[in-house]
Amino acid sequence: MAKQQTTKSIYDFIYLDLDRIHSYYAQLMDGVPNQKTSSSREQKNYTYKATAGPRDILHMAGEKGSSIEESLDQLMDMHHVLPRDMINLLDEHNLISKKLAANNLGRLVMIQGLINFADFETLGKNSDNALDAHRQLNQEAGEEFSDEEESNMKTVFNVINAYPIGVQATMQVNSGTTQHAWMALDKKYLTSAHLVSALKHKTLSSEEFVVLGILDAIPDRFVKEDAKDLEKFKDNLVKANPFFHALFSMSDAYKEIIGRPYNFYGITPISIFRVMRAKIDN
């Protein structure tokens, strides 16, 4: 028996933080199911009519009915349906905000827009080849590749090679206003889609993706009131131990080169996916 199709879309997940997904689901449902049983039953009724005796002598009709019940039990692995179920549960419990705003700091948000992936680990491993390719492109375009430019690129590659986070993503959010989000990604939760995306698109993806995550950083313009307190805190640490001066300088340099841009929101992603909807008949 075929189950009536009611699903109008499916999610194509390219990033799944399964540890958080299991944790959130368990908190809402008092545990995480490994399997799910689906049962469907259908009852069929059969009726037939019989005429007794020759038609020209005796006319007598009788009806007799019978029924047959069919059932189908299916045992399903919950591993692949759990992420979508978890998103639906969070939404039902009103735990997801659909917009980026300073007052949503520390909350779960779901945003949609065009995305870009930057694989620093792969780039760092091929830094020499990248330099040669950049030099060759400049020569073909008749442009000079100065020693200063090469030195600056080598500095950036050195920073990238020492950077512990291999993949970043930025999103141009579809919100009606100019908003951007920055994310650091854990490679163990990624598919290979980020590599394919980098080869397919010049900068941003052609299609929109959805990100569910924790909003844990907001643009600097929203935190100006705390800037003086932060500077005072840093000054006190430096006075207590000069080592913190070098530490803060290094941290600021990392952030400036490959960290969250000051006017971007920062998100810890839980899942990234695209929505694949039903076909459109032309």
Cα dihedral 204, 16, 119, 169, rounded to 10, equals 40
Kindly tell me if the per-residue pLDDT of 218 is higher than 90: yes
Kindly tell me if the per-residue pLDDT of 209 is higher than 80: yes
Q: What is the pLDDT of residues 234-277, one digit of tens each?
A: 788 878 887 777 777 777 777 777 788 889 999 999 999 999 88
Angle 238-267-184 from CA coordinates, rounded to 5°: 75
How many CB atoms within 10 Å of residue 140? 8
pLDDT > 90: what percent of the chain? Answer: 27
3-class state of residue 207 by DSSP = coil
Q: What is the pLDDT of residues 47-84, one digit of tens each?
A: 545 454 545 444 444 455 555 555 565 666 666 788 99
Question: Can you give the pTM of this predicted structure?
Answer: 0.70
- Mean pLDDT of the chain, nearest integer: 78
Bridge partners of residue 234, in order along the sequence: none
Per-residue pLDDT at 268? 96
Going by pLDDT thresholds of 50, 70 and 90, the confidence category of residue 113 is very high
How far, rounded to the nearest angstrom, does the alpha carbon of residue 230 sit from its chain's CA centroid? 32
